[in-house]
Amino acid sequence: MAEQDSLRDLYDGCYRRLVGQLYSICGSLGEAEDAVQEAFVRAVEKPRRFAQVDNPEAWLRTVALNVVRSRFRRAGRHQWLVTNAMAPAGPVPGMSPDHVALVEALRQLPYEQREAITLHHIVDLPVREIAVQLDVPEGTVKARLTRGRARLAPLVREFADDIQEADHV
Amino acid sequence: MSELKELAWTVQESVQPAPFEQLERRGVRRRRRRQVLTGAAAAGATVAVLVVLLPLGGNARSQQPPVVKESDPVVLSKTAEVRSVAMATAGDWSASWADCASQPCRYGATVSRHGSKVTGLGGALPFVALRAGDEPIAVAAPSGAALDSADPTWPETVLLRLDGLRTALHYAKPTADFTTGEILTDRLGGNGELRVLNLQDSTLRQLRPAGLDGARSPVRDNTGRWWVVTGKSTSGSRSDIAWTDDGGKTWAKALLDPANPGAKIAVSPDGRTVVASSWVDGATLEAIGLLRMSTDRGAHWTTVADKPWARGGGPVVFNGSAVMLGQKLSDPTSSLYGISAGRAKPLNGVPDQLDDLAGDERLLYGIQLERPTAQKVAVSTDQGRTWRTFEPR
């Protein structure tokens, strides 16, 4: 009972934050919510394993990311691009035109770059932790970040600043 | 707040969570279904484990040199990528491979020594290529973030050696010190925490070095001294260079960077020349905070001038000098930098997409991140002037 109570507290505390983070990868509110809900279902399903986790929110985010990634792979990259290019961005009330443009730009990035950008610039994970989480070399993460930042530079001030700084050196 | 964080915040504020009870019911239903199926699954798993473990039994030394079989699906797969490599000489190396073309990923490793090769099938746990002195080995460690005796993946662990038994690893309790012959590493899971691998009894344990916060990048010189850098992986963390001559019972320290965590330390074989770098967290690449060098075994330290903006690999330290992969802020390609007499300067280019740099005075190497999958290792025997590649499998 105590386990479920603490999971409920976690749900109240971090469900919305996780959906916000996943949205920038999925580009769809429904997809993002679905993935995060699946993570919580798995936590309920395996309570003993979940109780041993050091950082429950990180565990939930990893599971949700795995869900999104496996759906992406199952659907095939081409199908994903077609589906997402045709479907409008998930209806999110209060979203500014700048944010709509940013979501669109994120959806044009290869999946791996979107994932790396989200984990580093929204979740604030260091490169080495992302490498561990995604099970890829640090160099791969760095390359994905560099390419993703370059493509988002017109829409994200801090990325544009980097490029300007680099131009002046 | 950045535009990306604003976006996440806007979405977060608009979400209306479904009732928790709905998810709880789904989870409980699945749990019950799984419990019903457990009996049948266990029988199947026993057969699968036998299939994987049987080829790994026996002493490789007493048999003909093992040969990689065509049937090995991971190491020879066209879609597999090399994840790590450790080289003692051009012919003595180990490499870990992953094939993630379908989920879940499958892992394998190859160890090559004295003209013989052995391949570990691995299975669900990723291998890491390491060096134990001059011996290349590969290790598939438990997958849990914390090293725990109850981790269910212990039976799947593998210690792959060409000259000894290929065995599963065993848990040992954390200690603050270690003995001669044991290997310190921060690459066997645990988000980079220090762990001790004992090849004699095939145990793995957590090292909790007294008085060191966030120790990483352990490296041993030929005198037996172990060196590490410290500091929490967040900006603002002071970092030190630390070393021990008594197996971790006592540590000496020197300041690395007052405001950034330590990233990497390398030492010459004789232990006299040491180069260490700190890491400006938050940068996309591993931007270097400070690069420090000692040529008298840690008695005095110099801050290296004209350092590259970011560390791409290395450093690899020779007697009295060092090389590393570095990048300028204005140029995304890596170059080889030479470090000596307190200064760093670009020497020459390196193969495109070279990731990391390791080795010694006779042999430099690193994985080449070619598309679509990284399968080659670039090797130089003239201190980085010319390179060739090979596939370590």
Domains of chain A (ranges, CATH numbers): 1-93 (no CATH), 109-169 (1.10.10.10)
Instruction: Test A16 with B20 for CB contact under 8 angstroms.
Output: no
- Is the pLDDT higher at B76 or at B267? B267
For residue A84 the two structure tokens come to 């997402």
Contact list, A42 vs chain B (CB under 8 Å) = 27
Contact B119, B102 (CB under 8 A): no
**Model ipTM?**
0.85
Nearest to A22 by CA among A31, A13, A10: A31
CA dihedral B189, B191, B196, B202 (to 10 degrees): -10
List, in order of start, the domains of chain B with CATH numbers.
51-169 (no CATH), 209-388 (2.120.10.10)
Give the C-alpha separation, A17 to B227, whole Å. Answer: 40
Nearest to B126 among A42, A55, A135 (CB): A135
Q: What was the pLDDT predicted at A4?
A: 59
- Using CB atoms and an 8 Å cut-off, which of residues 302-341 of chain B contact chain A? 312-313, 328-330, 332
Confidence of residue B100 (pLDDT cuts 50, 70, 90): confident
Mean pLDDT value of segment B193-216: 93
Residue A34 in this model has a pLDDT that exceeds 80: yes
Contact list, B84 vs chain A (CB under 8 Å) = 137
B35, containing H or E segment = helix B20-53
Strands B203-206 and B170-171: parallel
pLDDT tens per residue, range B259-303: 888 989 999 999 999 999 998 755 556 789 999 999 999 999 999
Contact list, B24 vs chain A (CB under 8 Å) = 4, 44
Contact list, B17 vs chain A (CB under 8 Å) = 11-12, 15-16
Would an 8 Å CB–CB cutoff place A34 in contact with chain B?
A: no
Give the C-alpha separation, B304 to B326, whole Å. Answer: 13
Q: What was the pLDDT predicted at B70?
A: 36
Nearest to B389 by CA among B361, B352, B347, B362: B352
Confidence of residue A153 (pLDDT cuts 50, 70, 90): confident
3-class SS at B262?
A: strand
Give the C-alpha separation, A18 to A11, whole Å. Answer: 10
Q: What radius of gyration, in Å, describes the C-alpha atoms of chain A?
A: 17
Confidence of residue B135 (pLDDT cuts 50, 70, 90): very high
Contact list, A137 vs chain B (CB under 8 Å) = 83-84, 355-356, 367, 369, 374
Instruction: Test B8 with A41 for CB contact under 8 angstroms.
Output: no
Contact B232, B245 (CB under 8 A): no
pLDDT tens per residue, range B51-63: 333 333 333 333 3
Q: What was the pLDDT predicted at B339?
A: 97
Contact A36, A56 (CB under 8 A): no
For residue A111 the two structure tokens come to 């999946």
pLDDT tens per residue, range A91-116: 577 788 888 888 888 888 888 899 99
- Mean pLDDT is lowest, of A40-44, B268-272, B338-342, B356-360, for A40-44
Residue B46 in this model has a pLDDT that exceeds 50: no
Mean pLDDT value of segment B16-26: 80
Instruction: Test A157 with B20 for CB contact under 8 angstroms.
Output: no
Contact list, B3 vs chain A (CB under 8 Å) = 98-99, 102, 155-157
Instruction: Test B11 with A52 for CB contact under 8 angstroms.
Output: no
Nearest to B17 among A11, A127, A128 (CB): A11
Nearest to B311 by CA among B342, B293, B284: B284
Strands B216-220 and B226-229: antiparallel
